[in-house]
């Protein structure tokens, strides 16, 4: 269901061809002056320059060709040669009917579908998630939902941090507390107990203790480094412990992610890339792509086109101690995905401060021939800040845990419910469910409505408001429509054929027609705020329509049925858009 601008562009292109000019000049877009016209075409200006003709004359010929077109109510020449187009009420009514009946609420699915891997999340095993994980989670999950909605095959991967020094620190810390566990017996090759010897609370306690001691005690640090090396070399007991660490961590991580309505198809980590590392390193050495430098093995990724800028440092494949880091495991992960998933594109939803790292990794992948750089995208984002404009912290200067942020959002949502007297006639279970949905809408929309690459200030009081550009405002709009439709149904009134008879109805129909464009922009630019903007404007257009006209109480039966049909269309598109944003809509509020 292409939008009206596309339909008019085709018609205008044919008119240009009919007078001997190129069809591409017929591009139509929304009018800069919606008070004067719905759409405009500026092609006559460009055509006049190429054809050395007067643009108003060309525009006049186009008006003759397009007059009488069934979609066009009025077409006039404005200024030096612009075409102003107003579409028919019948066309708008048909578009709204399409939105009302469509599974995709008036949007098109992509003609060229792809397989896309989205790498987002990036939590570390044994460490509680913090506010810094929020943006990766909600942006990545929304892009996953958006891509699937458009018809693409999408695989979302959490990509856990489970392969660094922190694993060795946990192993040593646990060995000091429970030295008799079978995992620490060098000669024990298993099998090992199925039940984990530690809980997530144990890991959360052990890690900071071991990490702190490692920083101040050189001998202890060496023990941790040795344990890490033995883990990565395949020591059976340590590998069994790693699995326990991952399992209990993932179980805890899912609680926080579930609150944000975020899920993953794969819970792979850096450790899953390990089987590919050794053969990959050998391959890169053998082909001369990696070279030795001061005892390390590197891949030079600087290019002549970088000149004039600071030269890009080399990709460290193997360090001088013989170890591998994030560069290598990320490259091995690309190799793994290329071989076993065969995607067209891989998106990395990670803080934009990691831009240099991903440039190096993507260039190394291209140079190695593992996966083309053009198919690898770093979807960088800004930070979540506090009142001071710096990354959001607790009052004592500590990092805000994601679980605490989720709790704070729920408490603020429940406070709003109480203040607005929304809990009347609702059970305790319903109030809790509504509170969770308001908190979810507040948290996700407050993040997603911002241009992805910018920072934003975290303000729960503003985010949970039922007024302004907020998630709860959108929920309230959807719930109001549901209540209106329930009331109409209870009174025996049903939706019917749609007619567009007023300015507010016209504006509402025009807003619904922009859904497809908003989705395309959000997808092409990997920026969900385009969809947020559309949905917010849709809710506002509905609010104006609701304020201007009686709907369920309309006396004229045909007009009442038409307006109820309009409400059904708005609700379909609003809930569809909210679902793509990962926001759940309650039935009542």
Question: Using CA atoms, how far apart are residues 204 and 245, in angstroms rounded to an integer?
Answer: 11
pLDDT 10s digits, 31-62: 989 889 999 999 998 898 888 889 999 999 99
What is the percent of the chain where pLDDT is above 70?
99
pLDDT at 308: 67
By three-state DSSP, how is residue 215 classified? helix
pLDDT at 387: 81
Name which of 28-37, 112-121, 390-399 the model is least confident about: 390-399
What are the structure tokens assigned to 383, written together? 């930070």
pLDDT at 484: 96
- Residue 363's nearest CA partner among 433, 312, 421 is 312
Question: Using CA atoms, how far apart are residues 364 and 27, in angstroms rounded to an integer?
Answer: 41
Q: Do you know the residue count of the chain?
A: 589
Q: Which fold has domain 4-87?
A: Gyrase A; domain 2 (3.30.1360)
pLDDT at 446: 95
What are the structure tokens assigned to 530, written together? 């385009």
Residue 344 — very low, low, confident or very high, per pLDDT cuts 50/70/90?
very high
Name which of 393-397, 469-473, 518-522 the model is least confident about: 393-397
HEC readout, 279-321: HHHHHHHHCCCCEEECCEEEECCCCHHHCCCCCCCCEEEECCC
Question: Using CA atoms, how far apart are residues 201 and 208, in angstroms rounded to an integer?
Answer: 12
Cα dihedral value 367, 368, 373, 377, nearest 10: -130
Domain regions of the chain by residue span: 4-87, 165-259
At residue 86, what are phi and psi to the nearest 5 degrees? -115, 130
Buried b or exposed e, range 446-469, using 16+ CB within 10 angstroms:
bbbbbebeebbebebeebbbbeeb
pLDDT at 425: 77
pLDDT at 221: 94
pLDDT at 251: 94
Contacts of residue 86, Cβ cutoff 8 Å, sequence gap at least 6 = 37, 38, 39, 72, 73, 74, 75
C-beta separation of 553 from 482 below 8 A:
no
pLDDT at 49: 82
pLDDT at 397: 66
Query: Strand 315-318's sheet: what is its strand order?
Result: 291-293, 296-299, 315-318
- What's the mean pLDDT when you consider all of the chain? 93
pLDDT 10s digits, 195-208: 999 999 999 899 99
* pLDDT of residue 329 exceeding 90: yes
pLDDT at 480: 95
Cα dihedral value 530, 533, 535, 539, nearest 10: -170
Residue 380 — very low, low, confident or very high, per pLDDT cuts 50/70/90?
very high
pTM: predicted TM-score of the whole model, two decimal places? 0.93
Question: Using CA atoms, how far apart are residues 318 and 290, in angstroms rounded to an integer?
Answer: 9
Name which of 19-28, 178-187, 371-380, 425-434 the model is least confident about: 425-434
Contacts of residue 547, Cβ cutoff 8 Å, sequence gap at least 6 = none
Question: Using CA atoms, how far apart are residues 550 and 573, in angstroms rounded to an integer?
Answer: 21
pLDDT at 511: 97
- Residue 205's nearest CA partner among 126, 94, 285 is 126
The answer, yes or no, to whether the previous bond of 191 is cis (omega within 30 of 0) is yes
Residue 184 — very low, low, confident or very high, per pLDDT cuts 50/70/90?
very high
- Residue 317's nearest CA partner among 272, 285, 341 is 285
pLDDT at 512: 97
C-beta separation of 398 from 130 below 8 A:
no
pLDDT 10s digits, 527-560: 999 999 999 999 999 999 999 999 999 999 999 9
Angle ∠(44,50,54) on CA atoms, nearest 5? 50
Question: Using CA atoms, how far apart are residues 521 and 190, in angstroms rounded to an integer?
Answer: 54
pLDDT at 1: 61
Q: What is the CA radius of gyration of the chain?
A: 29
pLDDT 10s digits, 277-305: 999 999 999 999 999 999 999 999 998 88
Residue 227: in which H helix or E strand, if any? helix 218-233
Question: Using CA atoms, how far apart are residues 574 and 535, in angstroms rounded to an integer?
Answer: 6
C-beta separation of 109 from 98 below 8 A:
no
C-beta separation of 332 from 277 below 8 A:
yes
pLDDT 10s digits, 427-482: 888 889 999 999 999 999 999 999 999 999 988 889 999 999 999 999 999 999 99
pLDDT at 428: 84
* pLDDT of residue 575 exceeding 90: yes
What are the structure tokens assigned to 584, written together? 């759940």
* pLDDT of residue 130 exceeding 90: no
pLDDT at 390: 83
What is the percent of the chain where pLDDT is above 90?
80
DSSP helix, strand, coil percent of the chain (3-state; round to 5): 55, 10, 35
Q: What does the DSSP 8-state code read for residue 369?
A: T
């Amino acid at each position: 269901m292409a939008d009206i601008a596309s339909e008019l562009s085709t018609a205008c292109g044919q008119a240009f061809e009919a007078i001997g000019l190129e069809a591409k000049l017929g591009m139509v877009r929304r009018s800069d002056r919606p008070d004067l016209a719905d759409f405009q075409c500026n092609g006559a200006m460009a055509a006049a320059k190429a054809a050395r003709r007067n643009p108003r004359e060309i525009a006049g010929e186009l008006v003759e060709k397009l007059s009488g077109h069934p979609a066009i109510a009025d077409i006039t020449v404005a200024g030096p040669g612009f075409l102003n187009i107003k579409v028919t009420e019948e066309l708008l009514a048909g578009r709204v009917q399409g939105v009302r009946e469509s599974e995709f609420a008036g949007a098109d699915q992509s003609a060229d579908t792809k397989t896309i891997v989205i790498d987002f999340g990036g939590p570390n095993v044994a460490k509680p998630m913090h506010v810094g994980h929020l943006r990766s989670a909600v942006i990545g999950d929304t892009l996953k939902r958006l891509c699937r909605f458009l018809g693409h095959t999408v695989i979302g991967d959490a990509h856990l941090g489970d392969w660094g020094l922190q694993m060795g620190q946990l192993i040593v810390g646990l060995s000091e507390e429970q030295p008799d566990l079978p995992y620490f017996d060098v000669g024990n090759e298993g099998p090992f107990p199925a039940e984990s010897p530690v809980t997530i609370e144990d890991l959360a306690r052990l890690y900071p203790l071991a990490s702190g001691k490692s920083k101040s005690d050189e001998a202890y640090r060496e023990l941790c480094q040795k344990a890490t090396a033995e883990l990565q070399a395949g020591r059976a007991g340590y590998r069994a412990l790693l699995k326990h660490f991952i399992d209990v961590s993932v179980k805890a991580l899912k609680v926080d992610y579930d609150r944000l309505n975020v899920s993953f198809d794969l819970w792979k980590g850096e450790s899953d890339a390990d089987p590919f590392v050794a053969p990959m390193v050998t391959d890169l050495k053998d082909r001369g792509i990696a070279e030795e430098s001061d005892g390390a093995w590197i891949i030079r990724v600087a290019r002549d086109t970088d000149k004039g800028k600071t030269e890009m440092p080399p990709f460290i494949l193997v360090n001088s101690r013989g170890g591998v880091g994030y560069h290598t495991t990320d490259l091995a992960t690309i190799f793994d995905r290329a071989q076993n998933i065969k995607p067209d594109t891989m998106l990395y939803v990670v803080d934009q401060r990691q831009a240099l790292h991903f440039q190096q990794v993507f260039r190394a992948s291209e140079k190695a021939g593992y996966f083309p750089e053009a198919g690898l995208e770093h979807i960088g984002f800004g930070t979540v800040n506090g009142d001071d404009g710096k990354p959001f912290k607790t009052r004592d200067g500590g990092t805000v845990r994601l679980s605490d942020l989720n709790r704070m959002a729920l408490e603020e949502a429940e406070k709003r419910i109480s203040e607005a007297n929304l809990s009347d006639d609702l059970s305790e279970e319903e109030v809790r469910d509504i509170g969770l949905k308001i908190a979810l809408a507040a948290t996700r929309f407050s993040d997603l409505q911002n241009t992805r690459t910018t920072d934003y200030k975290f303000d729960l009081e503003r985010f949970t408001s039922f007024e302004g550009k907020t998630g709860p405002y959108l929920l309230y709009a959807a719930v109001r429509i549901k209540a209106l439709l329930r009331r109409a149904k209870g009174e025996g009134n049903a939706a019917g054929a749609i007619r567009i008879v007023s300015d507010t109805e016209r504006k509402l129909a025009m807003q619904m027609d922009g859904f497809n464009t908003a989705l395309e922009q959000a997808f092409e630019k990997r920026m969900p705020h385009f969809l947020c903007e559309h949905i917010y404007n849709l809710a506002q257009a509905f609010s104006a329509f609701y304020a201007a006209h009686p709907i369920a109480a309309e006396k004229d039966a045909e007009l009442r049925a038409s307006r109820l049909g309009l409400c059904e269309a708005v609700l379909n598109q609003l809930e569809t858009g909210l679902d793509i944003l990962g926001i759940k809509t309650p039935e009542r509020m």
